[in-house]
Chain A
Amino acid sequence: MMMRRIIYAHPALSFVVTLLVLWQIVYWLVGPNALLPPVETVVYLARLLQTARFWGHISETGTAFVVALAISVVAGLATGLALGMNRTMAEVFEPFLLAGNSVPKIALYPIVLLIFGIGMPAKIAFGAIHGVVPVAIFTLAACNNVPRILLRAASTMQLTRWDMIRSVLLPAALPDIFSGIRIGFSLTLIGTILGEMFGSQRGLGYLLMTAIGLHNVQVIMSVTLLLVLVAATANTVLLQQDRRLRNPGGTSFQKPD
C-alpha cells in the first residue's frame, strides 16, 4: 500500500529509482566486463565533464544538432503547410511522407556520405533526414484538423494567403505542430548521433564508436548516460509545453471534434 502511495505521488521519481535498482541488479548479473554500476557511471561522467576535450565533442554534437533541427523544423513546416493548404497536393504526397517515415534511414547513410563527404555537413544532413519527415507529417495532419469554419471565415474576410497562414492556420494548428516538433527533436538528435558514429572524427557519436572499438565500457556507459539524460530531459520539458498548448487553462477556444 505504501509503495502504491509513493508511486501515485511521484511517478517520475519512482520510475527513475526503479530503473537505477534494475541497472544495479543487471550489473551484478552480467559483471564488470560488460557494465558499469550507476554510481561509478555518474562519477566517471562527472570526471569526463571536467575535461576540455569532452566539451569539444559536446559542442561539436550540439552545433550539428542545432543546425539539423533548424533545417528539420523549417523544411518540415514548409512542406507540411504547402501540402496542408492544397487538398490535391496533400492527397498526392501524403503516402510518400508516410513511406518515408517507415524507411530505415540508416540505409541512406552511405549516400549522404558520398554527397557530403566526412564531416559536419554529413552529420547535419543525417540529423535533418531523421527530423524533417515527422515534422512534415504532423504539420500536414494539423492543417487537416483545423476546423473548416475558420478557413471559410478567413476566405470570407478575403485574407491574403500569408495573412491566412499567420493569423488562422498556424494558431489553430499550433498544438499538433508542436507535437511534431517534439518528435522531430528526438529523432534529429538520434540521427545526428548516428551520423557521428560513421562519418565523423569528432562528437559524442564518434566517441561512442571509438569506445566500442576499444571496448571501453566506462566511456560507452557515461556517454550513453549523458545522451539519455539530455534526450529524456528535453523530451519531458517539451512534453509539458505540449500538454500546456493542448490544454490551456481557462481559454475560450476549444476545438470542436
Chain B
Amino acid sequence: MRIVFYRLVAVFLPLTLLEILCREHVIKPLILPPPSRILLGLWAVIANGAFNAAIVKTLANVGLAIVLAVVVGIAAGAAIHRSRPLRTLLEPLFSTYYAIPIYAFYPLFIVVFGLGDTPQVLIGFMLAVVSMIVSTLAGLDSVPAVLGKTARVMQLGAVETVRSVTMPYAAPYLFTGVKLAIAYAFIGVIGAEFIMSGTGLGYEIRFAYDNLDNDVMYPLILLILLIAVAVNMSLDHWDRALRSRRERG
C-alpha cells in the first residue's frame, strides 16, 4: 500500500511541478503545453475521431507483426532446436541481432515493397521475431531430456507430448518471448511510420511536428505512451499471476 502511494507521488509530483512551470510560462507553451491541456487534448483528439483511422491502422499493423512474429518465431525456434548445425550457424546472429540498427534497412524495404503497409509490418516483425525465436529455444532447452524420453517410451503422440511435457516447462519462456515481441512490434511499426510512411500514429505525430501543431502532437505522443505502458503492464501483471499460481499449485 505504501509502495502504491509512493508511486502515485512519483507520478503526480513531477506532473504538478510541470503544470506550474508551464502555466507560469517558465516553460514556453511552444515547447511543452501544460500537462492538463495535453490530457484534455487527448480527449478531444479521440472524441472528434479524425485520428481513428490512423489509430486503427497502427494497431492493426502492430497486431499483424505480433501474430507473424509469434507464429514464425515459435516454428523457427522449434526447427532450429532440432538441428544442431543450424543452431550453431545462427548463434552469432542471435547474439548480435539487437545491436544492429534495423531501421537502416527500412529504405531498402520501401524500395522493394513500396509505400504500403508491408515495410512497417516487416520492420515490426523483424524486431520482434528474433526475441521470440530465442525465447522458444530457451523454453525448449528447459524441458528435461529424460521427460522427452519418457514421453517416447509411453508412446505419446506429438500433440499429447507438446501438451503434457513440453508446454509446462516452455510456457513461461514463451510468455516472456511474446511479451518482448509485443514491445518490439510497437517500437518497430511506430518507428517505421515515423521515418517514412503516409499513415498511422507515427506519421501523424511527424506531420503535426512539421506543422508545429502541439495541440495534436502532444496528445498523440501521450496516446502512444499510454498504449505501450498499458499493454506492457497488463502483460506483466498476467505473467506474475501465472507464475504465482504455478508456484502455489
Contacts and interface: CB of A to CB of B under 8 A. Distances in A.
Interface of A: 3-4, 7-8, 11-12, 14-16, 18, 30, 33-35, 88, 91-93, 95-96, 98-99, 101-111, 113-115, 183, 185-186, 189-190, 193-194, 197, 208, 211-212, 215, 217, 220-221, 223-224, 227-228, 231-232, 234-236, 239
B238 interface: no
B13 interface: no
Contact of B103 (A93, A96, A115, A190): A190
B170 interface: no
A108 B7 CA distance: 22
Main secondary structure of the interface of A (DSSP, over half): helix
Interface stretch (B63-71, B89-97, B153-161): B89-97
Nearest to A221: B108
Given A7-B89, A95-B7, A220-B107, A107 B225 contact: yes
Given A30-B112, A99-B229, A106-B191, A232 B85 contact: no
Which of B110, B225, B231 has most chain A Cβ within 10 Å?
Answer: B225
B229 A102 contact: yes
Given A93-B10, A217-B111, A103 B236 contact: no
A104 B195 CA distance: 13
A96 B105 CA distance: 31
Nearest to A108: B221
Closest 3 CB pairs of A and B: A186-B99, A235-B99, A110-B209
B140 to A, nearest CB: 20
B187 A106 contact: yes
B196 interface: yes
Given A208-B107, A212-B196, A102 B232 contact: yes
A111 B214 CA distance: 10
B112 A107 contact: no
B224 interface: yes
B232 A8 contact: no
B84 to A, nearest CB: 8
A219 to B, nearest CB: 10
Given A99-B233, A106-B190, A110-B205, A232 B99 contact: yes
B12 interface: no
B146 interface: no
B101 A231 contact: yes
Nearest to B3: A91
Given A11-B89, A104-B224, 8 more contacts: A104-B190, A106-B194, A106-B202, A110-B206, A111-B221, A215-B111, A235-B95, A239-B95
Interface residues of B, number: 54
Contacts of B91: 11, 15
A35 B108 contact: yes
B102 to A, nearest CB: 8
Contact of A14 (B6, B7, B89): B89
Contacts of B206: 110
Contacts of A12: 92
Interface in B18-34: 30-32
Contacts of A18: 89
A40 B221 CA distance: 41
Given A103-B225, A106-B194, A114 B112 contact: no
B104 interface: yes
Which of B101, B186, B228 has most chain A Cβ within 10 Å?
Answer: B101
B3 A92 contact: yes
A15 B112 contact: no
Contact of A98 (B99, B202, B231, B236): B236
B98 interface: yes
A70 B90 CA distance: 32
B221 A110 contact: yes
A115 B31 contact: yes
Nearest to A212: B107
B104 A104 contact: no
A153 B103 CA distance: 48
B100 interface: yes
B104 A193 contact: yes
